[in-house]
Structure 1
């Protein structure tokens, strides 16, 4: 791996495309926490993970403690991923009953595998020492009730998908009951020129049980290599079709400025599809979204 000994350490954080800029304060806190890890001798991956843990614990973002309820009003399924330019790679999909999925994804990076899903991921979390955690806040319940009202009306809960499709394909154990589709992510650049990315999401609402978006899919929701790091947020079913994170990374690797690459990545999607990108290159940074997106960069 090529390294730039004069790189400026930096951490970028987003709180999800379609979120509120009123939540920038949580992103700043997370980015500062990541920078503290870098200044304390931590790696770029340590910094990115620390930033995402802070957002998982915040409760306002769709990740960790703030993850949305599935359609049954009981289940919470989460995805997370980590990657760095030194070869670390780990992810979890549809994991339940953990407080910080990104920490489990980081632990997966130390196994013979890169992705664990569902029950296997949860069993691994227990064997790795992560306690069982399942809390449903009133905020989550209120969002779920709002979603059910939307599904019962004429307004599409998901762009381009009929509300009736979720009832028609219902696959939960409970009887049929009748928004956010965002993610948190962090990219970090160490003083040694190393790069890392970490992402976490509570999934999409509405969604069928077992739905996996772009967050744990390498090259779609996240990518890091010797030229930079990219984290993506938005509607995963559309993002994966364009391998958006790797596409933006490849542009940066080819010499395109990070801001131009982020803008170009967002421009690939029609206006009705939520999407956002944060990216780091060797000497620059960029962020773009077609929606409001909580964001912070340290140093600014």
Structure 2
């Protein structure tokens, strides 16, 4: 495959550079890439987060003042997934907005350009050599252990919002796993109509899903048990697991089965599979990132009737 045909996120060197100079895009490319094994993706993510924390802590110590990262207080209002989005201030004539609860709890993958509303969880205010700083460059919106980090194109004054204030943001976001998203955008200051949402509105996860429907309908199924049906795109065996990749025009699902689950029957099934064959997996997703899903296989079904 030529460089012209290779997707940017499948170029290892470019993704590595982006992870250093602009980590949100680099992290997105790392997880979307088909050329990095899962162990590299997890390790790279942990290294980036560790470096980010170290930089923030170092900046706080050098300033001789309070840290640049302000932590969420313990009494954030409506910060639980169990609380409905009706707790937000909403204008019926405003622009329609998602709630952060719906972004994380819904079965739809909301990656993309979105207007969403939530409560301020953290600020980052860079300080100069004199320990001065008054503009917020990164703002975190979230609840419980779920958060969306937004790098602001247009930084805002540090006194524009307080911790736990309601805020709306228009941004291009990328979901990174079940409890974290990152992106770039700006604070939306116009009126918003927050879409109603509570746990009772979450669609029921279907028992059988095709890979084409999974990507075509922009699904996000979390850890719910499901039977996944698709065509084999690749397969390989590693030291501790076997991989069977299911392909679709919208993305790929990496099916993985741990070594201790590989029985003689599984070995026969794996040997019988060829690229292009239809197959079904019983199991659940362990990670869903952009156009790539990672699926833990509990059972393989050859020539499925559905």
> What TM-score results when the alignment is normalised by the length of structure 2?
0.25
- Structure (1 or 2) with the larger CA radius of gyration: 2
Structure whose residues are more often strand by fraction = 2
Q: Relative contact order (C-alpha < 8 Å, sep 6+): which is higher?
A: 1
> What TM-score results when the alignment is normalised by the length of structure 1?
0.25
